[in-house]
Amino acid sequence: MDRRHFLSSLGALTLTGAAFPEWLLALPERPRITDIVVHRMRTLGETGIMESAWAPGRPYMRRIGGGTVTEILTDQEGISGIAPGLSQSGLASMKQLLVGQDPFDNEALGHQMRYTNGAASNWRDVGCVEIALWDIVGKVAGQPLYKLWGAAKERVPAYASMIQLSTPEERADMAVRLKEEGWKGMKIRLHHLEMAEDIRTVQLVRESVGDDFTIMTDANQAQSSGIWQPGIQWDFRRALATARALGDLDVYWLEEPLLRYDFDGLAELNRLVDVPLAGGENNQGVQEFVWMIEQGVYDILQPEILVTEGVQGLRAVAALGLAHHKPVIPHHGGGQLGTIAQLHMIGTWPHCPWVEIMNDPPISPYTNGFAIFENPPTVDGEGFMAMPQEPGLGVRIRRDLIMAQ
């Protein structure tokens, strides 16, 4: 059959409808958004008081479960989308924008939220809404999001991100314990007053676990995302000396060694040292990643879904990273539904070799945050987290934990 005849026969088939299977022609009514609610989740117990390394002087009780969850409801039976809890102040304007809309129009709705920044009182709310809309899309399609977006992997190694500073000896013991459980990597906080103590911590951990274990380090110098965080402030000399010392200890990256917008200092540091520099968790919006890439600030990009313009923003940063040959390994995403949303994105990215899981047992294990799920993902005995297989985000919240409004 020549091209002209082929095309005309195709046209005839299309006109009669014979080219499409019946089920495709009989698509159901499009879903419409009917309401948005923010649930407060009950806690299931306390695990102890811990001080985060990046926030000295602010210890607080760690709890199992708790937190808030956004739920976007639709007019289709059993179809709703969940996400981290958006702010109470943003709820009314989000309802005004979203109720009556088609949740599949998430790019148009997201554009309105970003363009005006009015429907959202902050960027975090945009991310929350986008996650919930995509959860709805996945549920209507009957596919987990990583499959819908294009799967690249079925599981990813998780690294245990430490929370407290602790002593070098205790961190070394923790590393051995984690390795025995199957974890393949851990991230150590560098917040001691003296640089020698930071380096001794990494040395002891490396000696204790051997060469077949990945060590990341984080100085948290590009804070803060909301609260005043006192503690040691690095200058360029300390950052340079630390980075050079870490270069002898097979460290996978040094994270946030200087202030968030010291692009000149970071680029200079990056030229002088071998250890890869990582960062970006506090950088807002895709444009800041463009500038950081142009200036050679970081080797590894770490966008955070609730800071960097939501699902659309994170996927845009991932494309930037791919185009510039830089791994993209997101910041943890909050330890509940933000982490799950990022897990699905990681499942679609060939250039993301790890997922960050906040895990500092016994007081702050990752299972604390995941306790709000009926079917929480877990880190297996080989240190991997598998992609959730149910539609959408693939996790269900425990309805019995929702507190009365």
Interaction site with Mg ion (CB under 5 A): 218, 255
* Shortest distance (Å) from residue 54 CB to Mg ion: 8
Closest separation between CB of residue 242 and Mg ion, Å?
Answer: 15
**Separation between Cα atoms, residue 307 and residue 314, nearest integer Å:** 9
**If residue 62 lies in a helix (H) or strand (E), which one and from where to where?**
strand 60-65
Q: How far is the CB of 281 from Mg ion (least distance, A)?
A: 5
Catalogue the long-range contacts made by 242-245 (C-beta closer than 8 Å, 24 or more residues apart).
Answer: 242/190, 242/195, 242/198, 242/199, 243/269, 243/272, 243/273, 243/275, 243/277, 244/273, 245/195, 245/199
Q: Which is nearer to Mg ion, 198 or 255 (CB)?
A: 255
**Residue whose CB is less far from Mg ion, 53 or 320:** 53
Taking the least distance from each CB to Mg ion, the nearer of 135 and 281 is 281
Residues 171/162, Cβ–Cβ less than 8 Å: yes
CB of 200 to Mg ion, least distance (A): 21
Could you give the 3-state DSSP secondary structure of residue 170?
Answer: helix
Do residues 278 and 255 make contact, with C-beta atoms less than 8 angstroms apart? yes
Tell the smallest beta-carbon distance from residue 356 to Mg ion (Å). Answer: 8
CB of 69 to Mg ion, least distance (A): 24
Residue pair 8/74 in contact (Cβ under 8 Å)? The answer is: no
82 burial via Cβ count (<10 Å: 0-12, 13-18, 19+): buried
Contacts of 399 (CB under 8 A, 6+ apart): none
Smaller CB separation from Mg ion, 135 or 356: 356
Name the residue nearer to Mg ion (CB basis): 254 or 343.
Answer: 254
Residue with tokens 């294009």: 150
**Nearest to residue 185, comparing CAs of 259, 269, 250?**
250
Q: Which tokens belong to 181?
A: 């459980």
* Residue that has been written with the tokens 């046209």 in this structure: 11
Nearer CB in complex with Mg ion: 97/162:
162
Closest approach of Cβ 218 to Mg ion, in Å?
A: 5
Residue 255 or 288: the one with the smaller Cβ distance to Mg ion is 255
Smallest Cα–Cα separation from 231: which of 198, 192, 200, 265?
A: 192
Residue nearest to Mg ion (CB): 218
Give the shortest CB-55-to-Mg ion separation in angstroms. Answer: 12
In whole angstroms, the minimum distance from the beta carbon of 216 to Mg ion comes to 9
Measured in degrees and rounded to the nearest 5, phi and psi for residue 351 equal -105, 30
218 versus 309: smaller Cβ distance to Mg ion:
218
Q: Which amino acid does the sequence have at 313?
A: G
Nearer to Mg ion, 161 or 336 (CB): 161
Contacting residues for 146 by C-beta, under 8 A, at least 6 apart:
152, 343, 344, 345, 346, 347, 348, 387
